[in-house]
């Protein structure tokens, strides 16, 4: 089984269920990712002191890496934390989930992401990067990539062009397959030319949702997945309740979503990537990878947060085992 290394913002998610009026009054576009300063983060948290909160170790790439480890895969996460209670919570959570933590120290406070969840299940991110923003190109060294096969990065990191360029270049030189999740349509809009250069030169696997793929290609999903696939090895465009399109060369599939009662869409894309990359590391074809990702995404929207219960992970592991057995029998015959 191949080993996956993730690079991303080490953020502890603070999940809050809010009203549409609350979101309008705060002035954040629904479904967007917004970088905020410490004072704004504190102001938001003070506004919702009486609202029930859920706190989990998060960050897009970290969610994906935790998912891979929960499926029995071999995975590590590279990030930066402050020397504080939130940082200790984050490290302990990675270790509990079977992830190898590669966490550098920072003099800044550990980062957090306040996730505002409206009644329709849509989530709006208000991110205080803190220590995670302290991660820089000088922290990345060639030896960080030794022993790994796949390098997965979150699109939120591309705003630090120097960091991402160095990390991807070193991963490429070490022979790793490179995977990127485009993260958010506004991030794509602000960094489109830079992202296109990365994808065409280095990236092997691109994950995007409908809004992100449109921001990147200005095309509808079926045409967008084809265009992205012409720039890399594997393209995935997720279309919510309509499932996903996945393409490799001229091989393309539409995989329908499972029936789910959406309570909170936080982490759906991250866990789709986890299921897909885990399947890929096991040697499955892209359709089966997409089916594993679809099951993981469909289950996580039924809960608040990104931490699936053990019985749900066991359900997904059974699907992986079924595909593994089918593949072995096919090879034997």
Element (H, E) at 304: none
* Predicted local confidence at residue 333, as pLDDT: 46
Distance CA 9, CA 2 (A): 23
pLDDT at 159: 87
pLDDT of residue 324: 85
Q: Count CB neighbours of 121 within 10 A.
A: 18
pLDDT tens per residue across span 271-306: 999 999 999 999 999 999 999 999 999 999 888 778
Q: What is the pLDDT of residue 168?
A: 97
**What is the domain partition of the chain in residue ranges?**
3-11+59-110+128-332
Q: Are 195 and 155 in contact (CB under 8 A)?
A: yes
Coarse DSSP helix, strand, coil percentages of the chain, rounded to the nearest 5 percent: 45, 25, 30
Compute the distance between CA of residue 67 and CA of residue 275 in angstroms, rounded to an integer.
Answer: 7
* Per-residue pLDDT at 93: 92
Q: Spell out, as residue ranges, where the chain has pLDDT lower than 50.
A: 332-333
Q: Cα separation of 279 and 282, whole Å?
A: 5
The third-level CATH classification (topology) of the domain covering 3-11+59-110+128-332 is 3.40.1190
Q: How far is CA 308 from CA 204, 296, 300, in A?
A: 28, 9, 6
pLDDT for the residue numbered 329: 66
> What are the start-end ranges of the E strands in the chain?
3-7, 11-17, 33-35, 53-58, 74-82, 100-106, 111-117, 123-128, 150-154, 177-181, 205-209, 234-238, 244-248, 251-255
Note whether 255 and 243 are within 8 A (CB). yes
Q: Are 65 and 96 in contact (CB under 8 A)?
A: no
What pLDDT, on the 0 to 100 scale, is given for residue 15? 86
Residue 29 has a CB neighbour count (10 Å cut-off) of: 11
Q: How far apart, in Å, are the Cα atoms of 143 and each of 146, 206, 212, 316?
A: 5, 25, 32, 33
Task: Give the per-residue pLDDT at 14.
Answer: 83
57-85 tens-digit pLDDT: 888 999 999 999 999 999 999 999 999 88
pTM given for the model: 0.87
């Amino acid at each position: 089984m191949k080993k996956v290394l993730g690079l991303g913002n080490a953020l502890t998610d603070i999940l809050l269920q809010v009203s549409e009026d609350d979101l309008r009054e705060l002035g954040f576009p629904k479904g967007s990712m917004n970088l905020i300063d410490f004072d704004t983060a504190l102001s938001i948290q003070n506004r919702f002191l009486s609202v029930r909160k859920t706190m989990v170790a998060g960050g897009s790439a970290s969610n994906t890496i935790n998912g891979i480890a929960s499926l029995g895969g071999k995975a590590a996460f590279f990030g930066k934390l402050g020397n504080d209670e939130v940082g200790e919570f984050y490290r302990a959570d990675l270790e509990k989930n079977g992830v190898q933590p590669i966490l550098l120290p920072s003099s800044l406070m550990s980062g957090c992401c306040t996730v505002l969840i409206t009644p329709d299940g849509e989530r709006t991110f208000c991110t205080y990067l803190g220590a995670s923003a302290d991660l820089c190109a000088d922290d990345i060294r060639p030896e960080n990539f030794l022993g790994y096969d796949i390098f997965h990065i979150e699109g939120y990191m591309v705003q630090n062009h120097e960091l991402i360029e160095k990390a991807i270049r070193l991963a490429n030189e070490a022979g790793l397959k490179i995977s990127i999740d485009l993260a958010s349509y506004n991030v794509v809009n602000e960094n489109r030319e830079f992202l296109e250069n990365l994808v065409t030169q280095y990236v092997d696997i691109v994950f995007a949702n409908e809004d992100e793929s449109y921001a990147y290609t200005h095309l509808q999903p079926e045409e967008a997945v084809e265009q992205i696939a012409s720039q890399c090895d594997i393209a995935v465009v997720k279309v919510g309740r309509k499932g996903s399109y996945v393409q490799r060369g001229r091989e393309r599939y539409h995989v329908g979503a499972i029936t789910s009662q959406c309570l909170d869409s936080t982490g759906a894309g991250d866990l789709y990537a986890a299921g897909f990359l885990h399947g890929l590391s096991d040697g499955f074809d892209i359709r089966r990878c997409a089916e594993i990702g679809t099951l993981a995404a469909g289950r996580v929207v039924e809960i608040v947060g990104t931490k699936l219960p053990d019985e749900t992970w066991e359900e997904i592991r059974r699907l992986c085992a079924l595909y593994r057995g089918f593949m072995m029998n096919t090879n034997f015959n």
